[in-house]
Structure 1
């Protein structure tokens, strides 16, 4: 609660001890109900406690104590102690008194001895057959454990020999040799230049119209237009003429560009290619419709070897 100046003054008077009995009871009730008021009272007690130390002890006169005794009704003369009347026991109770007999407590029994087991009785109870069977099983497991230990030791010795001394083992137990393949990259050999063949295809008036080049290794040929002029609606067609073939073979139409390349000679024998005559005829646009020349050749020529094959070939 909010403390006023009256509450603070009341707490100070309580600490000084100047309140009467009713007021002190009221203050003690407030201390029990209000913690804040109790703190104020305690603070005043701390402040006023030093006053008791500042005042010396005062011994009252003997007459003061006598006056106090007289005021409360006590006399200073010694009084005899009061005598209490004797208690009389009724005769009925005296006749009914029974002597009290205490019964002796028997001593505690000594601890019993631990039970003793007779092995013979146990065997008779469970049967000798069960004991023998259990003993047999124990022996059997011991033998199995011994065999397992021996096998493990043998495997350990075998593995050690395989790692350290494989030659001491039989062939069946020796580890297989490891084959490691090492790839060695060998530089590719230098390409051997192949032979080159050239044929000048020219007409009766002289002067090359086409230059035909053949690679001796791949049998691919290239035709270069030099002085020939195609007619409108017509095409130049290249032919292979050999005495080993019954009829001329078409090598295709020569294109309108400066260079025309064909791989069609791969199916012919080298002797046929080297000894053949190459001719050009004028055909309708797109080539001969019958697969045979429709007119006489206007440009012809034979191959000559310009670059021989092998390592001794001159640089190109």
Structure 2
């Protein structure tokens, strides 16, 4: 697929790969040429660079576990048997992310999964009504803070599945006398609790529709330090140690 015939999703993925330096040969030349003549594509490359900067600057190098790549491959497996011209591009893209993962870490692999598994556009029948704009775009937030100790987390929100995953990248040692509570703060500024971070690993949860409507682009996700069991008042009582804005992935 040439750069001039890319779908919007392919353009976004290509911009991400150019920002991270994953392209080589003709693909690199074509992407650079597209960025030189297309201001919108050039801006997309810059946006991806800004999104990945926290990972590149603050997350220690770590080779993703094999299970992470198996999950990515399983996610694109259903398309393998279909007659889909984009499938070779997806396989090549996965290979590039796999080769780069040693320098990007397991969290970048999670973002690769967002890129690789976003729904591919299908051509509508000639008689079909005009499609409605979907409000189910996956989103991501980089949560960062420095008080009382460096805290870094990555949040992934999948509106279609109503799944929120908050993955710690850098957090203080677990203290059983404290709890890390996740909050969403929409435009009206009122915090709403999304649950507690576990002692180890990511927080995963299925969000009810009413709360899911608060997880929109521009909303803030925040982490506060609370007593065991979380804030008893429904609002943050302890210090907010990390925050970040949701943006389209």
Alignment TM class, shorter chain as reference: 0.3 to 0.5
Q: Which entry has the higher C-alpha Rg, 1 or 2?
A: 1
Larger RCO, structures 1/2 (Cα 8 Å, 6+ apart): 2
- Greater per-residue strand proportion: 2
| TM-score of the two chains, using structure 1 as the length reference | 0.33
